[in-house]
Amino acid sequence: MRPVLPLVLGTLCLGAFLRIIGGVPLLGSDFAFSADQPAITAVTPEVDTPAATAVSFYQFLVKGKYHEAWEISVEPMWTESPKAPYARAVAAGSRPLGWTSERDFIERCAEELGADGSGLRLNGVRALPREGARVGADDAALKSLSASKVTAVQVTGHLLGACLIYRWDRNLLVANISGKNKVLLPGTKTANSTYHESWFSNVELIGSLRKGAP
């Protein structure tokens, strides 16, 4: 008789994998975003809130819609080169020399995440305003923006790998510029990393779908 337990575990793993690639949340039913949903900011202007803008930014990335992601974000350039420096190279109180162009943003995303966003797999992305909170690392860039209002937003979600699930969260600032909310990106990166990695933080492995893995 064939062992039953390995067969059951294999079935569960396969079922979970199929849920993930189908954009169905694996760890709950109350998540704000799965890969197959339309972009929040593309529905109606009434939902153009800071939290919705933050969720839409990540949703555009996973769908490879880098033009749309650029339109609802601003990213400072700390040098004359579109290749931003390491975070530690930006002196405290520095002001950006300009803002990342659409071309540079799209080219970089396509290089790092693939032309269609296939290099990034997210699920369960949600965001909540953090009243009274500030993200100090972005203050220097804020001084160069003519923003009518700035809202701190905490974004959380799950990053999906090869049968691995990571939890992440990121504190962002969403600035209202000329009546439109835009996510403020850091424009820097750490050594030996890619630019989009700075859009995630506190990444933690929380589960594995592989049989026998911890």
- Cα atoms in the 13 Å half-sphere on the side-chain side of 208: 5
Confidence tier at 9 by pLDDT (50, 70, 90): very low
Torsion angles phi and psi, residue 64, rounded to 5: 75, 20
Confidence tier at 36 by pLDDT (50, 70, 90): very low
Q: Which of the pair, 191 or 157, is modelled with greater confidence? A: 157
CA distance 177 to 144: 12
The pLDDT tens digits of the residues spanning 145-158 come to 888 899 999 999 99
Residues of the chain with pLDDT > 90: what percent? 45
At a CB cut-off of 8 Å and minimum separation 6, what does 64 contact? 113, 114, 115, 116, 117, 118
CA distance 131 to 201: 20
The pLDDT tens digits of the residues spanning 42-92 come to 434 456 899 999 999 999 999 999 999 999 999 999 888 877 788 888 887
CA distance 188 to 108: 13
CA distance 26 to 35: 12
Confidence tier at 142 by pLDDT (50, 70, 90): confident
Confidence tier at 210 by pLDDT (50, 70, 90): low
Element (H, E) at 107: helix 102-113
Residue 105: pLDDT over 90 = yes
Read off the amino acid at residue 184: L
Neighbours of 13 (CB within 10 A): 16
Read off the amino acid at residue 148: S
Q: Are 176 and 131 in contact (CB under 8 A)?
A: no
Q: What is the mean pLDDT of residues 38-45?
A: 40
Q: What is the mean pLDDT of residues 182-188?
A: 93
* Closest listed residue to residue 183, CA positions, set 192, 174, 196: 174
CA distance 68 to 60: 6
**What pTM value is reported for the model?**
0.76
Which is it for strands 76-77 and 98-99: parallel, antiparallel or unpaired?
antiparallel
What is the model's pLDDT at position 209?
Answer: 56
